[in-house]
Amino acid sequence: MSEMVTLSTDSRGISHITMARPDRKNAFDAALIAELTAAIRRVDRSSRAVVLQSEGDTFSAGADVEWMRGMADYSLDDNVADSTALGGMFRALYDLEMPLVARVQGAAIGGGAGMVAVADIAVASTEASFAFTETRLGILPAVVSPYVVRKIGAARATALFVTGSRIDAKRAHEIGLVERLVEPTDLDAAVRRVLDAIVSGGPKAVNAAKRLVRELEGRPIDEVTELTIKRIAEIRVSHEGQEGLRAFLERRDPRW
C-alpha cells in the first residue's frame, strides 16, 4: 500500500487503519478512497476491533479541493462512478463485523464527519469539530446520510445538513455523534480504555452484540422477540459462552 493509508495489527489483534495525508488535511480524493477501501477489505476478520485514525491535526477535511476542481466538468456518469466508489468505502466500514472505533483529534468535515458517524464508537478530542458543509457548495451530504441519520436521528441530521454549520466537540457529544469526549492529552489513553473494554469480552459475543443491534434496529419488539431468544440460547451453549460462565463461577479470567 502507498503512504497515504496504512494498515497494521497489534499483539492484541486490534487493527489500525491510518490516513497518512496530513499535508492535505487527510482530505479525500479518488486515490485515498481506493486505498481506504482496500485497507478495510484487508482487515483480518479475526481482529478484535478496528481503529480508524489519521495523522496530523485534522481528522479529515472531507473532499480535496484539487479533486473537486477536477470534478467540475464530470458528466453524470462520471459522477455516478465517483459516488459509487465513495459509497463503497463507507459500506465497507459499516460492514465490518467487529467494533469500529474512530480516533478524532481535530476537524472532521463532510465525508470526514461521515466516517465518525459510521463508527460504532467515536472518541474525540475537545479540540475536534464537525460539519456537513456540502450544501454551501450547492451539493448534498448524500452518501454519508444513511449513517448520519442512523447515528443522530433525522431532526438533528436535517439541522446540520441544511445549515452546513460547524459544531464543536461538546455539541457532537451531546447529540450522539461522538461517544466519548476527552482532553487532547488523554485521547490515546481514552481510545486504549475503549479497546481494553472491547477485548475483555468474548470475541464472538462482542461481534454478535454488534450484529444484534443491526438486526433489531427499527423493528417492533413483537417482531424480534423470538430472534433475541434464539440468539441468547445459541451463545449460552457455545464454547465461548460456556467458558465465560465457568470463568465467572470460578472467579477467574476467561480464556479467549
Distance (Å, whole) CA 100 – CA 199:
13
Cβ contacts of 86 within 8 Å, gap of 6 or more: 28, 33, 111, 143
pLDDT at res. 17: 98
Q: Are 133 and 163 in contact (CB under 8 A)?
A: no
Cβ contacts of 155 within 8 Å, gap of 6 or more: none
Distance (Å, whole) CA 65 – CA 60:
13
Cell numbers for 202, please give them.
Answer: 468474548
pLDDT at res. 193: 98
Segments of the chain with pLDDT less than 50: 1
- Distance of alpha carbon 28 from its chain centroid, rounded? 16
Distance (Å, whole) CA 12 – CA 166:
36
Question: Could you tell me how many residues make up the chain?
Answer: 256
Q: Are 4 and 35 in contact (CB under 8 A)?
A: yes
Pairing between β-strand 5-9 and β-strand 14-19 as defined by DSSP bridges: antiparallel
Q: How far are the Cα atoms of 18, 204, 255 from residue 104, in angstroms, in the given order?
A: 12, 27, 32
pLDDT at res. 1: 46
Distance (Å, whole) CA 124 – CA 237:
38
Nearest residue to 122 via CA among 97, 103, 108: 103
Distance (Å, whole) CA 148 – CA 141:
9
At residue 255, φ and ψ (nearest 5 deg) are -105, 90
Q: Are 172 and 128 in contact (CB under 8 A)?
A: yes
